[in-house]
């Protein structure tokens, strides 16, 4: 299942409708167009992203109109929006034998969307946020992708998925075959236990521990949040091996002997609990019910995160970092000003 594909010979070039123009939707649409695909964007008229898609030069239609003229429909709206969108604006207008593509398997895997039997159903999931998918493509690189085939009615569903992944730039890095089940469950687990839930709660707990012990909040911020990027960059570039090459022996000894204090048998048991609740559908049912109720718990928990005192400390410190823009994006490096010559200095 972990076979890798660099490219597809004579890849198909279906007419594509990208439904949704958020972080992933915009990146997919732009990359695919620049890879030679005919792309139409399907959006709700008057919605917040319609003007952005038009400014990027796309033909923008209603979702139903975009779907009707497409051979491949990429559903790139938020997970909780997709079931109703599929029922009302995609399925009734999708041509027989067309290909339905998702970037996350949540709704198909958990039975919220049951695609028609005559359709090809595939998944192409870049392993990174949309802004990174776009940025890496623009500089000639790519974000690795996983892909899966749920239904292959035409006999060329895998070719379509691989062509789409290549169009995103994924073939420049790596494309690995998976299943809807594996992509969905591993993606949710990674978000909850490590990348988002695990990392942010670890950072907050570390900062709180230092501040409660009397250390300056600013120093604690640098140690527990700011420097995390330096370690993550090393892990990204060369795994744990590279990290050990570039941190001190003292840091290495502390890592090896004290890391297990934090990620101990209890933490591992909690990770297994998280995974079990993903596998048996508990998390999906809770999230679907929460969304249907108007997200009261979600909103309260998110606001508590935004109100955490580490955020106030961080805003103050980042304001002094001239390379970070007001929107939080890192600005391109500027070349250093040339030093004056001896003659100019004398003058």
Strands, E assignment, the chain: 16-19, 39-42, 60-61, 72-75, 99-102, 120-126, 145-151, 175-177
Count the alpha carbons within 13 Å of 91 in the hemisphere toward its beta carbon.
Answer: 13
Task: Find tokens 């909040």 and name the residue.
Answer: 217
Backbone angles phi, psi at 332, to 5 degrees: -60, 145
Q: Which residues are annotated as a binding site for Mg(2+)?
A: 187, 191, 223, 227
Q: Which residues are annotated as a binding site for substrate?
A: 248
Q: Of 117, 109, 168, whose CA–CA distance to 143 is shortest? A: 168
Which residue is catalytic, options 28, 104, 226, 244?
104
Q: Which residues are annotated as a binding site for NADP(+)?
A: 21-24, 44, 49, 130
**How far is Cα 59 from Cα 70, in angstroms, rounded to an integer?**
13
**How far is Cα 27 from Cα 112, in angstroms, rounded to an integer?**
25
Query: Greatest CA span in the chain, whole angstroms?
Result: 82
145-151/120-126 β-pairing: antiparallel
**How far is Cα 227 from Cα 177, in angstroms, rounded to an integer?**
34
> 10-28 burial, b for 16+ CB within 10 Å, e for fewer?
ebbebebbbbbbeebbbbb
**How far is Cα 105 from Cα 148, in angstroms, rounded to an integer?**
9
Q: Which residues are annotated as a binding site?
A: 21-24, 44, 49, 130, 187, 191, 223, 227, 248
Is residue 224 within 8 Å of residue 203, measured between CB atoms?
yes
CA–CA distances in Å: residue 117 to residues 55, 65, 79, 97, 110: 37, 22, 21, 9, 17
Is residue 119 within 8 Å of residue 153, measured between CB atoms?
yes
Q: Is 104 a catalytic residue?
A: yes
Residues involved in catalysis: 104
């Amino acid at each position: 299942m972990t076979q890798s594909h660099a490219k597809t010979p004579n890849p198909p070039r279906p007419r594509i409708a990208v439904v949704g123009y958020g972080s992933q939707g915009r990146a997919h649409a732009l990359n695919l167009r620049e890879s030679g695909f005919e792309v139409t964007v399907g959006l709700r008229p008057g919605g917040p992203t319609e003007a952005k898609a038009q400014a990027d030069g796309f033909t923008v239609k209603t979702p139903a109109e975009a779907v009707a003229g497409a051979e491949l429909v990429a559903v790139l709206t938020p997970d909780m929006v997709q079931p109703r969108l599929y029922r009302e604006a995609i399925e009734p207008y999708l041509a027989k034998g067309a290909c339905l593509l998702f970037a996350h398997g949540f709704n198909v895997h958990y039975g919220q969307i049951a695609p028609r039997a005559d359709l090809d159903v595939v998944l192409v999931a870049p392993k990174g946020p949309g802004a990174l998918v776009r940025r890496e493509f623009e500089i000639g690189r790519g974000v690795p992708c996983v892909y899966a085939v749920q239904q292959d009615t035409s006999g060329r569903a895998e070719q379509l998925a691989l062509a789409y992944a290549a169009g995103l730039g994924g073939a420049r890095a790596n494309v690995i075959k998976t299943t809807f089940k594996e992509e969905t469950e591993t993606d949710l687990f990674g978000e909850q236990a490590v990348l988002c839930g695990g990392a942010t709660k670890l950072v907050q707990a570390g900062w709180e521990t230092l501040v409660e012990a009397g250390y300056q909040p600013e120093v604690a911020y640098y140690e527990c949040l700011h420097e995390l990027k330096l370690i993550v960059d090393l892990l990204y570039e060369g795994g744990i091996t590279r990290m050990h090459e570039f941190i001190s022996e003292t840091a290495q000894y502390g890592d090896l002997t004290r890391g297990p204090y934090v990620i101990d048998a209890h933490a591992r048991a909690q990770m297994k609990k998280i995974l079990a609740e993903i596998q048996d559908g508990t998390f999906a049912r809770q999230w679907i019910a929460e969304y249907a109720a108007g997200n009261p718990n979600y909103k309260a928990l998110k606001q508590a995160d935004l109100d955490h005192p580490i955020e106030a400390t961080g805003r103050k410190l980042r304001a002094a970092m001239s390379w970070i823009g007001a929107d939080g994006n890192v600005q391109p490096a500027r070349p250093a000003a040339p030093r004056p010559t001896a003659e100019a200095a004398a003058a």
